[in-house]
């Protein structure tokens, strides 16, 4: 079997079998993408049971009705100021238009208030927490605060120290921003969403970070941190965030990886092979947690379902014509055998027949 076919076969099988934890981001910034109904049909046909949408899209929301797909819905950054204001009619209108009009036919999971709004350089950061609070209390007025969680997304930029992971902490100059947000998440029982991209760290420091460490392929410990050994950069980045939360007394806050992926072209280290390796290994790996939290599956969203020509993004699992980029026919699932066979790799209780070994 061609290794590229194996990569996507593993990815498809794991997405199908680990739907409780894994999803795919749905960026729609392109003028050559399938229709919203075709997009949702693709998710359904591949049993991808979670979607992240980067802003309200009424056509996709309509197509998601009466499906089993759970949705993470972002609030667009230019809407933050209005939603954060004292004019509650703005918040109520947004919630009624984008949530109540579709609930419960659409299975909303999280409402994300701000995607990587940088408190060090973006004036909209001041609106994130008030907007989170307004959305939460508007949902609560409808009795939906437990069914639909409210959160925000951070990036690694908000961390001051990340290596080793146990030293992870939020930047001192970001504390006035992040501390109240973390307090809100603790009080409301919501997770913290984070975009985690080993690719960017690797591409910026290829002398200091090996490709195998970034692609989950290291066979031995690369970073030893006390009793914890790290064989991949993804775990190190996630555990640095957990360490930062623990230092704020927020160890109960779960981390959801709202984006992670690897491009097929457009940057150093970008290739179809590396993208297939990273994404298939990612979906397998997150079922087992991190060294700091072993056995605790990490809810993770792969970026992205399609290439987007508006941004020259080449991160998609599919081309805009819905063809899989890794030369795999998604209508033909790989052979799944019962767990009684001692074959590897292992994916959520199922063994995938591998005809050509490849280090994972």
Question: Among all residues, which ones are annotated catalytic?
Answer: 116, 259
Q: Which residues contact 253 (CB under 8 A, 6 or more apart)?
A: 182, 185, 186, 190, 191, 192, 245
The span from the CA of 293 to the CA of 165, in Å, is 12
From residue 236, give the alpha-carbon distance in Å to each of 58, 213, 309. Answer: 38, 10, 32
Q: Which residues contact 304 (CB under 8 A, 6 or more apart)?
A: 24, 25, 26, 27, 261, 313, 315, 316, 317
Question: 50 in helix, strand or coil?
Answer: strand
* Alpha-carbon dihedral angle through residues 75, 80, 82, 86, given to the nearest 10 degrees: 110
Question: 333 in helix, strand or coil?
Answer: coil
Cis peptide before 164 (omega within 30 of 0): yes
Chain position carrying tokens 């579709």: 102
Q: Which of 324, 261, 358, 248 minimizes the C-alpha distance to 42? A: 324
Chain position carrying tokens 């997304």: 153
For 355, counting Cβ atoms within 10 Å of its Cβ (0-12 exposed, 13-18 middle, 19+ buried), the class is exposed
Question: 56 in helix, strand or coil?
Answer: coil
């Amino acid at each position: 079997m061609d290794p590229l076919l194996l990569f996507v076969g593993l990815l498809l099988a794991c997405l199908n079998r680990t739907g409780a934890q894994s999803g795919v981001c749905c960026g729609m910034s392109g003028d050559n993408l399938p229709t919203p109904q075709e997009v949702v049909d693709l998710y359904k046909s591949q049993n991808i049971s979670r979607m992240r949408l980067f802003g309200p899209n009424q056509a996709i929301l309509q197509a998601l009705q009466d499906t089993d797909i759970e949705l993470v819905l972002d609030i667009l950054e230019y809407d933050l100021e209005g939603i954060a204001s004292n004019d509650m009619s703005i918040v109520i209108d947004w919630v009624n238009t984008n949530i109540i009009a579709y609930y419960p036919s659409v299975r909303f999971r999280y409402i994300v208030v701000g995607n990587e709004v940088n408190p060090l350089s973006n004036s909209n950061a001041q609106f994130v927490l008030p907007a989170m609070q307004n959305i939460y209390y508007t949902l609560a007025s409808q009795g939906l605060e437990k069914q639909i969680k409210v959160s925000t997304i951070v990036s690694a930029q908000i961390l001051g120290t990340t290596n080793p992971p146990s030293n992870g902490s939020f930047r001192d100059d970001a504390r006035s921003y992040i501390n109240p947000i973390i307090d809100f998440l603790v009080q409301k029982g919501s997770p913290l969403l984070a975009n985690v991209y080993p690719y960017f760290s690797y591409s910026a420091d290829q002398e200091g970070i090996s490709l195998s460490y970034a692609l989950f392929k290291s066979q031995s410990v690369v970073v030893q941190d006390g009793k914890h050994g790290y064989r991949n950069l993804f775990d190190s980045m996630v555990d640095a965030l957990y360490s930062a939360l623990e230092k704020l007394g927020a160890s109960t806050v779960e981390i959801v990886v709202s984006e992670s992926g690897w491009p097929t072209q457009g940057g150093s280290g970008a290739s179809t092979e590396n993208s297939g390796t990273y994404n298939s290994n990612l979906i397998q790996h997150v079922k087992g947690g991190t060294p700091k939290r072993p056995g605790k599956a990490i809810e993770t969203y792969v970026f992205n379902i399609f290439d987007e020509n508006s941004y020259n993004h080449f991160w998609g699992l599919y081309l805009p014509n819905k063809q899989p980029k890794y030369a795999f026919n998604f209508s033909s699932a790989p052979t799944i055998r019962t767990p009684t066979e001692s074959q590897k790799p292992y994916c959520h209780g199922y063994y995938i027949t591998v005809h050509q070994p490849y280090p994972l």
